[in-house]
Amino acid sequence: MAAPRKLDYEEIFALRKSGMTYREISRKCGSYTTFIGKICRENGIKPYGGYGRAQRKKDQIDIVLDYIVKNGGVLGRTLKKLDIDLCPETVRTAATRRGINLRDYYHFGKENKNWRVAQPGHTRHETGYVQVVGTCKHCGHKQEMRVTSIDISKTAPVCHRCGGLGHGKL
């Protein structure tokens, strides 16, 4: 009967430094993932540049959340657009931990000729439609409006302050 393979710590450390995950190392060297993790941590072994999978994931979460906070949008579509392979639940959890409510950014950044949704968040009118606060591109006036009036209409509604013309017409 063959003797069980003796674990080569140096090999494990080298693999870890090269960026392999604990799981990958455990498969290759025939030991438990938790044990590989334990000895690597105890010996301060990290992938070169500190750029392990966990760090990469964290960086990707930062990229997605920064993008949404700046530009608005829906999470699933944003992940596709940025070509980032993260589980939406992971991003949602991270957002909540940072006090970001992703729902507030669904309509944020939408615009038409006269209006831009420059303020996160939306409400639902008692009759059912979604309302956002639009900022007039001509005079900066803010007023509530249906999100569809920005989504679908190229210009509507009329600004209560300048009439959408930027001439201070009241």
Cα separations (Å) of 117 from 39, 102, 131, 146?
A: 52, 15, 10, 11
Q: How far is the CB of 103 from Zn ion (least distance, A)?
A: 27
The tally of CA atoms less than 13 A away on the side-chain side of residue 23 is 2
Report, in Å, the least distance between residue 20 CB and Zn ion.
58
Task: Give 15 or 117: the residue with its C-beta nearer to Zn ion.
Answer: 117
Task: Indicate the helix (H) or strand (E) that contains 15.
Answer: helix 9-17
Residue 46 or 141 having the CB closest to Zn ion? 141
Distance CA 141, CA 161 (A): 7
Considering beta carbons, is residue 105 or 115 the nearer one to Zn ion? Answer: 115
Q: Which is nearer to Zn ion, 116 or 161 (CB)?
A: 161
- Closer to Zn ion at the Cβ: 94 or 139? 139
39 vs 154: CA distance, rounded Å: 62
Compute the distance between CA of residue 35 and CA of residue 133 in angstroms, rounded to an integer. 54
CB of 155 to Zn ion, least distance (A): 12
CB of 160 to Zn ion, least distance (A): 8
Residues that bind Zn ion (CB under 5 A): 136, 138-139, 141, 159, 161-162
Give the shortest CB-151-to-Zn ion separation in angstroms.
Answer: 19
CA–CA separation, 41 and 28 (whole Å): 19
Query: What tokens appear for 20 in the block?
Result: 């392999």
- Bridge-partner residues for 134, per DSSP? 143
